[in-house]
Structure 1
Amino acid sequence: MASSTSYPSYKQLKEDFVSNLSGGTVSEIALVCAVAPVVSLLWSTLQARQSFFKPYTTLGFVVDFLLNVGALLLSVTLYSAVPILLNLLLLTAALFIYALPPNLSRKKPRLLPDAKSRAAASAGSLGVLSTKPFLTNYRGNMMVVTCICILAVDFRLFPRRFAKVETWGTSLMDMGVGSFVFSAGVVAARPVLKERADNKYIPLGQRLVKSLRHSLPLLVLGLVRFLSVKGLDYAEHVTEYGVHWNFFFTLGFLPPFVALFQSALRVIPSYAGLAVLLGVVYQIVLESTSLKSYILVGPRTDLISMNREGIFSFFGYLAIFLAGQDTGMIVLPRTLKARKSGSQWTMLLTLAAWSLGWMVLYHLSTTYKYGAGLTVSRRLANLPYILWVVASNTALVSGFGFVDAIFFPAFYNAHDSKTEKEAYEASTSRILRSYNRNGLVIFLLANLLTGLVNMTVPTLDVSPVATMGILVAYMAVVTATAVGLDMYNISIKL
C-alpha cells in the first residue's frame, strides 16, 4: 500500500529556511555594522602610515580584498556570534600598525610657495560639490555587504536572525534594504545642490520627465527579475513585497515621487522634515485605519492586494530616501570659505548631532514608558523602521567621516581639483571605489550569480568549509568585475 505522506519540495524547504520570525537585537546588528568603519580604520592606518596601497600592486589588491570583503564576510558567518571579538582584533591590528615607524620614502617633495600657486593655476579650480572619500567608503562597504548577504542567506552558516524578518523585529538584511535606499538618497542630493548653486529652478514637468529616465531602466530590471523568478520557479517569500513586486520596482518608483516632493519644499524647506512628516502620517494611517491588518492578513484577490506589501511599504522607503537626501545636503557641499578653519569637523559634528537626533526619535517611537511603544516592521516599512534605518546610517556615515578626517586631512586642504583628486584616490580603497562607481550593475551581477549558485548547488546541504569557499569565490568574481570595469574606466549608468 502506497504511503500517503507528502514531503515538502526543496523549494518549500528553502522558503521555510529563509523565513525569520523575530530577527536579532538592535545592539547586535549595530556591532556587525560597526565592522565596516573599523575595517576602514585599519585600511586607513595602513595607507596613511605605511603608504601600503600606493602604488596599487597585486599584494595591495589581495590585502584590500581581505580587509574590505573578507572581514565583512567573516562578520556575517564565522564571527556572526561574536562581532565584538572581530572588531577588537581589527582594532588591535590597527593600533599595532600605527605604532610602527611611518614609511616616509613615498612622500611627495614639498613645493615652494610659487610652485604651489603655479600648480594650482594649472590644475583647475574647485567646484561647489566634491566627492568625499568617506561617502565612497560608506557606499562601497554597503554594496559589498549587500552582495555578500544576498547569497550567504541561502546557506546554513548564515545566521537566521540576520535574514529578513517575516513581520516584526530587526535584522541585518532588513537594515541592508533600507540602507540601499538611504544611500541612493544621499547621492540624489547632488543635482539639487547643483541646481541651487546655479540659482536655477526646473519646472515640475521637466523634473518628472528627467526622473522617468532614471526610473525606466530600474522598472525594466524589476520586470526581468519578476519573469525570471516565476519562469525558473525560484524560491521566494510572497510576504516580502507581494506576488509581482520586487525591490527594483521600489527603486524605480522613487525618482518621480521625489520629484513631486520637490514642490513641497517650498512649504517645508527640509528633506528631514518631509521624511518625518511622511513617516508620521503613514504611521497614523496604519494605526487609525484597517490598513495594517489589510497589509498583514488581507486576502490576495486583485493586483493591489497581491502586491500590498510592496505598494504600501513604498511610503516608508520614500521617507528613508528623503532623509538620505537631507544627509546629502549636509555632507556634499564643499564650503570653500571655511576650509582652513576645519570645516570638515563642523560638517561631521553636525552630522553626528543629526544621528543623535534620529536615535532619540527612534527611541521615542519604540519605548513603552515614554514613547509610542511601536515595533519595527520592514514588511510595513513603518515609522520605527524608518527611524532605525536613518539613525543607523547617519551614525555609519559619521564613523567613516571621522576616520577620513583624522587620517587624510590632505583632501580637505586641497586647493585645486588635481590635488584633490590625488588625495581622494589615496584615501579610498580601489575596491570600494569600484563598487561605488558601478553599484547598480554590480548589484545586478550579484543577483544573477546568486540565482546561478542556487540553481546549481543544494545550498542547504553544503558544509561550512564549502560554504566559505563558494562565498569567497563568488565575491572574488563580483569584485574582479567591479575593479576590471574601473581599470578600463568604464561607467555603466542604469
Structure 2
Amino acid sequence: MAKTYKQLKEAWVSGHTGSSVADVNSVSLAMPLSILLWSVIQSRMRLFTPYTLPAFIVDLLLNCGATLFATTIYSSTPWLLNILLLLPAVIMYALEKPFPANDAPRPPKIDHYEKDTKLNALPVKPFITNYRGAMMIITCVAILAVDFRVFPRRFAKVENWGTSLMDMGVGSFVFTAGVVSVRSSLKEGAGRRSPLFKRLTASLRHAIPLLVLGTIRLISVKGLDYAEHVTEYGVHWNFFFTLGFLPPFAALFQTAFDLVPSYAVLSFVLAAVYEIALDWTSLGSYILVAPRTDLVSKNREGIFSFAGYLAIFLAGQSLGASALPRQQPIAKDASVMTMLRRSTTARLAITSLSWTALFYFSISYYGLRLSVSRRLANLPYFLWVSSFNSFQITICCAIETVLFPNVYKAKTKDEESRRIRDATSTVLYAFNRNGLVVFLVANLLTGLINMTMPTLHMSVLQSMGVLVAYTATVTGVAVGLDLCNVTVKL
C-alpha cells in the first residue's frame, strides 16, 4: 500500500541506530577547526577588523559553510574537510607574524577612569562565545538538513540505543546553556546566594517564554498535521518544554549546593540515581514500551528524560564555574601543580579527561556495560555529552590562549572589551547573542520549507541550494540583529 508523504517523512526519521562516537567526533571537529582557521586569519591579518562585507562573507563561509558541508557533502569523508581546514591554518601560522596590537589611539575617558580601569572579574570569554555560536549553527543546520537525503541517516536521532550527531546536538544545547547560566551565581559569590524564593522568581522569568514557545509549537504541529516523531519526547512534549523547566529546577538544586559544593558531583549523583531507577525498577521498560494511555504515559520520554537533561545542565554549570572567571596570574617559576590549578586550559583539560574516563567506564565490558540512550537521557548519555562538550570547549580555549595571548592583559575595561571583540567571530557572536530567537527563526523556516517543498524527493544540487539559502538567511537574521544592537532575552 502506498504511503502518504507524511508517513514517508515520519519513516525517514524513525528506526535509526546512529553511528560511532569516533564518527561524531570526526564530523564535529570541523567546528573548532573552523574557529582555528578564523583565529589564525584574524591574529595574523586582522581581516575581520574592521568588519566589511568581504569579511562577513569569509566569516560566513568558514563558520557556517564548513559546518553545513561537514554534515552533507563531506559526511562520508570528514577527515578530508578537517585537513582542508587545518592545513591553511598551520601554514599561515608558520609563515605569518602576529599582527601588532594597536591599542594607543583610544585612551579611556577621564571622568570614568576609575570605572574603566577596574577589570571585570568575569570577562566575556571569546572561546565560550565562539563555541556556543558554533553549536547553535550546527543545531540550526541539522534541524532542516535531516529532512533531505543529502544528510546521512547515521546522523539522525537514534530510536532507542546508540550515538548520533543529532543526539549529541540536543544534549550540547542544554550543556552550553548551563555553562553561561552559572554566571549569575558566580557574580553573587560564595556564601552570598539569593534566597530560594528570589531565585525561583528570577528563573520563572526565563522559563515562561520558553514554555509559551513550547505551547505554540505543540498547537502548530497538531493543527498543521506536521510530521513528527512521537518517541522523541512524547505526544505533546517538545524540546522547548525541556528547556523551559531547566531554570527553576536548577535554582532548586542550588540549595543542594550547600550540602555538595560541586556542580560536577551534583550532576553525576543525579544522573547515577536516575540510572539506578532505570535499571533497578520498571522505569526503563515503562519509558520504552508502555502503552500510551494517559497524559504521563503519552509524554513519558520528555518527562523522565528531564532528569538526565537537568544533570547535563548542572555539568555545564560545573564547567562554566571553571571557565568563566578571570585566570589568576601564573609566575614563571610556579610549580606544575600551581600551573595546573590556575591555568583555565589545564583545568578544562582535566575536566574533559575525567568525564571521558567515566564515560568509557560506563559503556565498557569491564565497567558498567551500559548503552547510550538519548531517548532515556541515561547515565552514559549524560557522560558522553559532558565529555564531548568539555573537550570541544578545551580545544577552543587552547586556540584562544595560543593565538590571542594578550586578550586579558589590557590595562582598562574598554581596551579589554575591544580585544575580546577582536578575538570573537561576528557570525558566532551574533548566533550566541540571540541564540533562542535565532533557533526559533530556524524552526519556523524549517516548518515553512517542509510544508512547501518535497524535501525527500530533491536532488543533491537542489537540496544544497535550499540549505545554503536557509543557512545564509538564518545567519543574516542573527548578524542583522547584532548590527542593530538588538538583544532579545528569552
- Fold match, TM over 0.5? yes
Q: Distance in 2 between matches of 1:209 and 1:177?
A: 26
Q: Distance in 2 between matches of 1:117 and 1:202?
A: 35
Deviation of 1:236 after TM superposition, in Å, equals: 0.5
Aligned to 1:77: 72
Matched, 1:266 2:258: yes
Q: Distance in 1 between matches of 2:342 and 2:78?
A: 29
Q: Distance in 1 between matches of 2:242 and 2:128?
A: 23
TM-score, structure 1 normalization? 0.94
Q: Distance in 2 between matches of 1:260 and 1:266?
A: 11
Q: Distance in 1 between matches of 2:103 and 2:270?
A: 54
Q: Distance in 1 between matches of 2:109 and 2:450?
A: 58
- Deviation string 1:12-31 (CA, Å, 9 cap, x unpaired) is 00010112421010001001
In structure 2, the CA distance between the partners of 1:339 and 1:491, relative to structure 1 (3 Å rule), is farther
Deviates more, 1:48-57 or 1:442-451: 48-57
Q: Distance in 1 between matches of 2:331 and 2:294?
A: 57
Q: CA contact under 8 A between 1:23 and 1:163: conserved in structure 2?
A: yes
- Deviation string 1:30-85 (CA, Å, 9 cap, x unpaired) is 01111111111111111111111111111100000000000010100000011111
Q: Distance in 2 between matches of 1:344 and 1:141?
A: 28
Aligned to 1:443: 439
Q: Distance in 1 between matches of 2:303 and 2:347?
A: 34
Deviation of 1:125 after TM superposition, in Å, equals: 1.4
Matched, 1:188 2:181: yes
Q: CA contact under 8 A between 2:340 and 2:346: conserved in structure 1?
A: no
Q: How does 1:1-16 map to 2 (within 5 A)?
A: 6-16=1-11
Give the aligned residue type for 1:108.
Answer: N
Aligned to 1:399: 395
Q: Distance in 2 between matches of 1:222 and 1:116?
A: 46
Q: CA contact under 8 A between 2:174 and 2:312: conserved in structure 1?
A: yes
> Which residue, out of 457, 461, 475, partners 1:465?
461
Q: CA RMSD in A?
A: 2.1
Aligned to 1:292: 284
Aligned to 1:3: none
Q: CA contact under 8 A between 2:327 and 2:342: conserved in structure 1?
A: no
Identical residues among aligned pairs (%): 55
Matched, 1:216 2:208: yes
Unaligned runs of 5+ in 1: 1-5
Q: CA contact under 8 A between 2:218 and 2:236: conserved in structure 1?
A: yes
Deviation of 1:121 after TM superposition, in Å, equals: 5.0
Tell me, what secondary structure is at the counterpart of 2:402?
A: helix
Q: CA contact under 8 A between 2:196 and 2:252: conserved in structure 1?
A: yes
Q: CA contact under 8 A between 2:231 and 2:375: conserved in structure 1?
A: yes
Q: CA contact under 8 A between 1:24 and 1:161: conserved in structure 2?
A: yes
Q: CA contact under 8 A between 2:348 and 2:390: conserved in structure 1?
A: yes
Aligned to 2:125: 132
Give the aligned residue type for 1:210.
Answer: A
Aligned to 2:60: 65
> Which residue, out of 455, 476, 488, partners 1:480?
476
In structure 2, the CA distance between the partners of 1:62 and 1:212, relative to structure 1 (3 Å rule), is same
Deviation of 1:410 after TM superposition, in Å, equals: 1.6
Give the aligned residue type for 2:93.
Answer: Y
Q: Distance in 1 between matches of 2:37 and 2:411?
A: 28
Deviation of 1:110 after TM superposition, in Å, equals: 5.8
Q: Distance in 2 between matches of 1:268 and 1:162?
A: 37
Matched, 1:41 2:33: no
Tell me, what secondary structure is at the counterpart of 1:412?
A: coil
Q: Distance in 2 between matches of 1:109 and 1:452?
A: 47
Deviation of 1:109 after TM superposition, in Å, equals: 6.4
Q: CA contact under 8 A between 2:16 and 2:156: conserved in structure 1?
A: no
Matched, 1:373 2:391: no
Q: Distance in 2 between matches of 1:99 and 1:285?
A: 54
Q: Distance in 1 between matches of 2:104 and 2:394?
A: 31
Aligned to 1:236: 228
> Which residue, out of 94, 116, 123, partners 2:116?
123
Aligned to 1:150: 143
Matched, 1:328 2:320: yes
In structure 2, the CA distance between the partners of 1:133 and 1:343, relative to structure 1 (3 Å rule), is farther
Matched, 1:346 2:346: no
Deviation of 1:412 after TM superposition, in Å, equals: 2.1
TM-score, structure 2 normalization? 0.95
Q: Distance in 1 between matches of 2:97 and 2:275?
A: 54
Q: CA contact under 8 A between 2:214 and 2:241: conserved in structure 1?
A: yes
Matched, 1:412 2:405: no
Runs of 4+ residues over 3 Å off in structure 1: 99-104, 115-124, 335-345
Matched, 1:165 2:161: no
> Which residue, out of 97, 102, 105, partners 1:108?
102
Q: Distance in 2 between matches of 1:364 and 1:328?
A: 24
Aligned to 1:304: 296
Q: CA contact under 8 A between 1:138 and 1:400: conserved in structure 2?
A: yes
Aligned to 2:357: 360
Q: CA contact under 8 A between 1:215 and 1:253: conserved in structure 2?
A: yes
> Which residue, out of 17, 22, 26, partners 1:22?
17
Q: CA contact under 8 A between 2:117 and 2:411: conserved in structure 1?
A: no
Q: CA contact under 8 A between 1:157 and 1:467: conserved in structure 2?
A: yes
Deviation of 1:228 after TM superposition, in Å, equals: 0.4
